[in-house]
Chain A
Amino acid sequence: DAGITQSPRHKVTETGTPVTLRCHQTENHRYMYWYRQDPGHGLRLIHYSYGVKDTDKGEVSDGYSVSRSKTEDFLLTLESATSSQTSVYFCAISPSDGSYNEQFFGPGTRLTVL
């Protein structure tokens, strides 16, 4: 299994509070991604990173920000959590070595916003 960890694995928070989720990889892969998974929607891309300090928006980026100061860490921040952000969040990585590559997924973080 690819070395990807996510923390925390579970979190309950209140509307309006800031939340930061962490994704950590030990594979030294260039690309990292944040998805949210909701019933009936599959996985939707929030943000992704193609290198240190290089990030871009995905399909559902509103209300989220990201940062990547080191190759191994990719942080997802909800500046002011809302109930609509209750979801399961997955991090993924991809080596992107010049040819197309599949993504490898972390175990997920279940976030509940009350």
Chain B
Amino acid sequence: AQSVTQPDIHITVSEGASLELRCNYSYGATPYLFWYVQSPGQGLQLLLKYFSGDTLVQGIKGFEAEFKRSQSSFNLRKPSVHWSDAAEYFCAVGENRDDKIIFGKGTRLHILP
């Protein structure tokens, strides 16, 4: 069965520093992969997605993610974080049936001024 692991429950970085959030997935075929962001009290917003093609995917708000099949990873990166990036980030894998998605448990990002 598909699964998604986000190893880090909390991450703290200083404003202006670079960021990498880790995501590992388990899936038998070519996965559909997503990163969503949830600001406090809000719903989930799609940051980026990988379906096929170029393994480096650009998303909104300056985020990017790289699909590495050999490592079963889809890590999210941003070169310089802003205080407004403080939120919870969810990695997810598509189940290729009924457009269902399996979510990781999330990583909460804290930004130091």
Interface set of A (CB-CB < 8 Å, partner B): 31, 33, 40-45, 48, 50, 56, 58, 90, 92, 94, 96, 100-108
Q: Is the interface of A mostly helix, strand, loop or mixed?
A: strand
Which residues does chain B contribute within 8 Å of A94, judged by CB atoms? Answer: 99
- Evaluate contact between B99 and A42: CB separation under 8 angstroms: no
- Evaluate contact between B43 and A107: CB separation under 8 angstroms: yes
Q: In the complex, what's the smallest C-beta–C-beta distance from B68 to chain A, in angstroms?
A: 20
CA distance A96 to B101 in the complex (A): 13
In the complex, what residue of chain B is closest to A43 when comparing beta carbons? B103
For the side of the interface on B, what is the size category? 20 to 34
> With A96-B98, A96-B99 as given contacts, are A42 and B104 in contact (CB-CB < 8 Å)?
yes
Report which of A31, A58, A90 forms a contact with B99, defined as CB distance below 8 A: A31
- Evaluate contact between A42 and B32: CB separation under 8 angstroms: no
In the complex, what residue of chain A is closest to B91 when comparing beta carbons? A42
B22 beta carbon closer than 8 Å to chain A: no
- Evaluate contact between A56 and B98: CB separation under 8 angstroms: yes
B96 beta carbon closer than 8 Å to chain A: yes
Closest 9 pairs (CB-CB, A-B): A42-B105, A105-B43, A94-B99, A105-B44, A42-B103, A43-B103, A107-B43, A96-B99, A100-B32
B51 beta carbon closer than 8 Å to chain A: yes
- Evaluate contact between A103 and B103: CB separation under 8 angstroms: no
CA distance A70 to B94 in the complex (A): 26
Which residues does chain A contribute within 8 Å of B98, judged by CB atoms? Answer: 31, 48, 50, 56, 96
Q: In the complex, what's the smallest C-beta–C-beta distance from B89 to chain A, in angstroms?
A: 11
> With A42-B104, A43-B90, A100-B94 as given contacts, are A90 and B34 in contact (CB-CB < 8 Å)?
no
Which residues does chain A contribute within 8 Å of B42, judged by CB atoms? Answer: 107-108
Q: In the complex, what's the smallest C-beta–C-beta distance from B27 to chain A, in angstroms?
A: 13
CA distance A94 to B99 in the complex (A): 7
> With A90-B44, A96-B99 as given contacts, are A102 and B105 in contact (CB-CB < 8 Å)?
no
